Amino acid sequence: MSGSFAPRPGAAPLSQMVRAQVRMETRLLLRNGEQLLLAVVIPLIVLVGGVLAADRFDLSLSHRPVDLLTPGVLALAVMSTSFTALAIATGFERRYGVLKRLGASPLPRSGLLMGKVGALLLVELLQAVVIGGAGLLMGWRPEITVPGLAGALAVALLGTAAFASLGLLLAGTLRAEATLAAANLVYLLLMAGGGVVLPTTSYGGSGLLDGALTALPSGALGDGMRTAFIDGGFPLVPLAVLAAWSALGTYLTARTFRWE
């Protein structure tokens, strides 16, 4: 009969489900005070405090403090969101059965992962605006070139992939409380001595130590951002290191992740 209601049961298109998941994941990240602390407050404190301390104590650095620290803090922001925040949130979602219920919904597991990654990228865009704006207000003058901008974008994307896979590796194998402790501990250790905020050559170690720090995902992320924004170059070696960590983390996560 003309005009009659004809129900068509079924799942929504994957793209629509992923967009809805991205919106939900983003809201959850931005509503959580601890996640905002990791995403924005701590990086801003490191940037402002580092620049003021360098000026106050007249530290000898290879570049102006704000030019050296701002790319490193942008790298720190990527690490804090894609590793620490993601690991903690996923660990508690797994503990409370959220992942199990989502796994039984029409949203496929690949869609769930795409939703989480999409939310990470949106939050990182917000971080880049806030931290980059603060750096510019403090006198940051990045070297803007096409290879540098392309390199910074590639470093951010591969850094997100590498640290997200490692964060999911923690969240999918440890209990929620252990994930919380381990993610925060690793974050603090890498922030202090992982070559992310300051160049790997500034730790006063031997060439072997510099090489070890460069091989860490934190060191590659920081060095890549500094190469892009200080030298205006395309950071091939850091990108290769991040790609290797991303492949390793993805493989290990796929083999060990438990949804409940």
Tell me the torsion sign for CA atoms 163, 164, 168, 169: negative
Average pLDDT over residues 161-183: 92
What are phi and psi for residue 32, nearest 5 degrees? -85, 120
In single-letter form, the type of residue at position 227 comes to T
* Tens-place pLDDT, residues 206-249: 667 777 888 999 999 999 999 999 999 999 999 999 999 999 99
Does the pLDDT at position 83 exceed 80? yes
Q: What is the pLDDT of residue 59?
A: 64
- Indicate the range of 17-31, 44-58, 161-175 predicted with least confidence: 17-31
Does the pLDDT at position 152 exceed 90? yes
With b for 16 or more beta-carbon neighbours within 10 A and e for fewer, the 46-67 pattern comes to: bbbebbeebeeeeeeeeebbbb
- Indicate the range of 2-16, 52-66, 83-97, 157-171 predicted with least confidence: 2-16
* Tens-place pLDDT, residues 110-144: 777 788 888 889 999 999 999 999 999 999 999 99
Q: What is the pLDDT of residue 206?
A: 61
Instruction: Outline where 32-145 has alpha helix (H).
Output: 33-36, 42-56, 65-79, 86-95, 98-103, 109-137
Q: Which of the four pLDDT bands, split at 50, 70 and 90, describes residue 193?
A: confident
Does the pLDDT at position 10 exceed 70? no
